[in-house]
């Protein structure tokens, strides 16, 4: 999980083993465009393959490119 992501940071979407089969974004790499600063809702805007997705902070990790 990323504790303080920055706009433009390269990240990888990562889900738990139970949910991976149902999540098409698992393992894909993108860049953060929108950073949420709310206390409770920590979904960030991640651009993957030209599309913007809302991904929970707990499902993001630093990309190793």
Q: Model-level pTM?
A: 0.86
- Burial tier of 30 (Cβ tally within 10 Å: 0-12, 13-18, 19+): buried
Q: What is the pLDDT of residues 26-64, one digit of tens each?
A: 999 999 999 988 878 889 999 999 999 999 999 999 987
Please report, for the chain, the start and end positions of each structural domain, with discontinuous segments joined by +.
10-62
Q: State whether CATH 2.60.120 applies to domain 10-62.
A: no
Give the distance from CA 60 to its chain's centroid.
4
């Amino acid at each position: 999980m990323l504790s303080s992501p920055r706009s433009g940071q390269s990240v990888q979407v990562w889900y738990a083993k139970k949910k991976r089969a149902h999540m098409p974004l698992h393992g894909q790499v993108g860049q953060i465009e929108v950073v949420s600063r709310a206390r409770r809702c920590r979904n960030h805007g991640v651009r993957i393959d030209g599309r913007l997705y809302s991904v929970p902070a707990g499902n993001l990790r630093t990309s190793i490119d």
